[in-house]
Amino acid sequence: MVGHGHGEKIEAGTTFARETLNGRGCEYNYNDEYFHDFLQFAAQCGGTVADLGCAYGASTKRLLDAGATKVIANDICKEHLDIFYDSLNEMEKKRVQCIPGDALELEKYIPAGSLAGIIAASWLNFLTPEQIKAVFGVFYNLLQPGGKLCILAASCYSDLMESQHAQDVVAKRKAAGDQWPGLWNKAELYKGPFAHHLPDFMHCLDPDVLSREATARGFKVDKAGHFDFGSVFQALKVDGREWTGIIATKPK
């Protein structure tokens, strides 16, 4: 582990996990097909893309480096955004707008229909079912027709649900047709080593749940599936289904 003064960074070869300042998990350096699809889209779409819940902006910086015209960086923790902004050079700063605050309230600050793309990586896991329904409405309203949404989220097969007990609970919920089988609480379902930077409540999200909610809000799902988090951060590898990725389009 390497202390960087601003959130501990756990280095692992070319990848890393950097702890957030507000106990909301880690920032990662994604390497999956969903992130790469969005990166490619952001580079060529010519419009504004938003990285919501971006933490210290590692992915936001990759969007800039790929050639995105303008990038909005949002996080509920303003200190994360300050660290990101300070890390940019003057040319990069001209292409970035930082908007601190709860992403669920961004309709107050970003005009409806103004975004070409939105990426929301690894924070829908902190939302209740009602908030997940609401956030899909926010994504939909902020995107322009034809706009792309990319969501990455810890699944029901992530390290959060690694114990046999947690897997039994999930299997039972799924068999019973539970709409939200990934509701998680630390005391009952988590036995792993990262408890100190996770909240008491979380919500593991599988591709079928995110696809259902995206479709219910009017999105067309381009693709959705589990991906192997081992390539992102080996210590969180379980069985290759650790994370969920989804790319969806707001119809024209």
Taking the C-alpha atoms of residue 73 and residue 81, their distance in angstroms, rounded to an integer, is: 7
Of 131 and 173, which CB lies nearer to ligand SAM in the complex structure? 131
DSSP for residue 235: G
Strands (E) in 54-203, as ranges, are 70-75, 96-100, 115-121, 143-154, 183-185, 201-203
Q: How far is the CB of 106 from ligand SAM (least distance, A)?
A: 8
Of 147 and 245, which CB lies nearer to ligand SAM in the complex structure? 245
Which residues, 112 to 141, sit near ligand SAM by CB under 6 A? Answer: 121-123, 126
Determine the interface stretch with ligand SAM among 42-50, 84-92, 102-110, 196-204 (rule: CB under 6 A): 102-110
Taking the C-alpha atoms of residue 40 and residue 36, their distance in angstroms, rounded to an integer, is: 6
Q: Check residue 24 for interaction with ligand SAM (CB under 6 A).
A: yes
Q: Check residue 27 for interaction with ligand SAM (CB under 6 A).
A: yes
Determine the interface stretch with ligand SAM among 3-11, 75-83, 191-199, 220-228 (rule: CB under 6 A): 75-83
Strand order in the sheet with 9-12: 9-12, 15-19, 26-28
Phi, psi (5° rounding) for residue 45?
Answer: -75, -25
Give Cα 225 to chain centroid, integer Å. Answer: 14
The answer to whether 196 touches 117, Cβ cutoff 8 Å, is no
* Amino acid letter, residue 167: Q
Q: How far is the CB of 251 from ligand SAM (least distance, A)?
A: 26
Q: Check residue 54 for interaction with ligand SAM (CB under 6 A).
A: yes
Q: How far is the CB of 171 from ligand SAM (least distance, A)?
A: 26
Q: Check residue 55 for interaction with ligand SAM (CB under 6 A).
A: yes
Under the rule (CB under 6 A), what is the footprint of ligand SAM?
20, 22, 24-28, 52-55, 58-59, 74-77, 80, 102-104, 121-123, 126
